[in-house]
């Protein structure tokens, strides 16, 4: 049986064009400030993608780390817009056992998801717009940095954070849980992410500030330690844009 898609967390995703049309109509009826307030409350544009396909990313000796692209956005952030919020959802499990404890918790979890921001390399940016990277780059790497050359060949490069990182941790899977679980992580621009368990999810510090026009987002499936396996069946990425 094929995996079932994860429902988007936000069910209504106006496109950039639809949002512009609605704003134009509103501004004919009410002052611009009120039109913008209405837009912010319920008609902000979104970019969204999802995938439902069973994939396994298993870490095997002698290189006990694995990374693969499970999902990417295909439409770059439009010029003149900024990213206000991003929502990741995953449905995944590990191999169902652990040698050193942690069962049913996030302790000793060695399967997780990372996010990266990619920016286009001129002059190939236009050529590679709307490329589905998880299909174009179906191979796996021992670490994410090792994918740099393959990304360059397709016209993309990593956006680097102030501390030199090219990834932000999204979430971990519960340890030694063979049944797939749903996970959701949400980051908002200018709002510190409140995390109950830092072993479970990342805070996304600085991510949205670096997600600039022309960029796309990549969700990596990860596993480390011998025989640990990240079994993924579905994921979503939803990006809310600010109304310019």
So what's the pLDDT on residue 40? Answer: 82
pLDDT in tens, 71-119: 999 999 999 999 999 999 999 999 999 999 999 999 999 999 999 999 9
Tokens of 164: 């030199």
pTM listed for this prediction: 0.94
Residue 85 is given by DSSP the state E
Q: Categorize the per-residue pLDDT at 128 as very low, low, confident or very high, splitting at 50, 70 and 90.
A: low
Do 121 and 216 contact (CB within 8 A), yes or no? no
pLDDT in tens, 187-244: 999 999 999 999 999 999 999 999 999 999 999 999 999 999 999 999 999 999 997 6
Residue 124: pLDDT over 70: no
Tell me which residue of 210, 164, 202, 207 sits closest to 183, measured CA to CA: 202
| Position with higher pLDDT, 215 vs 39 | 215
């Amino acid at each position: 049986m094929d995996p079932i898609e994860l429902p988007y967390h936000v069910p209504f995703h106006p496109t950039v064009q639809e949002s512009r049309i609605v704003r134009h109509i509103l501004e004919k009826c009410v002052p611009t400030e009120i039109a913008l307030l209405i837009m912010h409350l319920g008609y902000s544009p979104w970019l969204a993608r999802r995938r439902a396909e069973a994939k396994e990313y298993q870490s095997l000796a002698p290189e006990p780390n694995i990374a693969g692209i499970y999902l990417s956005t295909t439409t770059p952030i439009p010029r003149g817009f900024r990213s206000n919020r991003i929502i990741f959802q995953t449905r995944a499990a590990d191999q169902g056992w652990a040698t050193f404890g942690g069962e049913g918790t996030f302790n000793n979890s060695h399967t997780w998801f990372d996010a990266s921001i990619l920016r286009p390399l001129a002059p190939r940016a236009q050529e590679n717009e709307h490329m589905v990277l998880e299909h174009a780059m179906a191979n796996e790497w021992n670490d994410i940095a090792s994918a740099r050359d393959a990304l360059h060949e397709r016209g993309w490069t990593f956006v680097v954070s102030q501390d030199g990182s090219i990834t932000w941790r999204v979430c971990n899977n519960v340890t030694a849980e063979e049944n797939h679980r749903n996970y959701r992580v949400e980051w908002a621009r200018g709002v510190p992410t409140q995390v109950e368990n830092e072993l479970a999810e990342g805070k996304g510090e600085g991510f949205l500030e670096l997600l600039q026009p022309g960029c796309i987002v990549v969700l990596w499936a990860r596993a480390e330690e011998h025989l640990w396996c990240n079994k993924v069946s579905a994921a979503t990425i939803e990006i809310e844009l600010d109304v310019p």
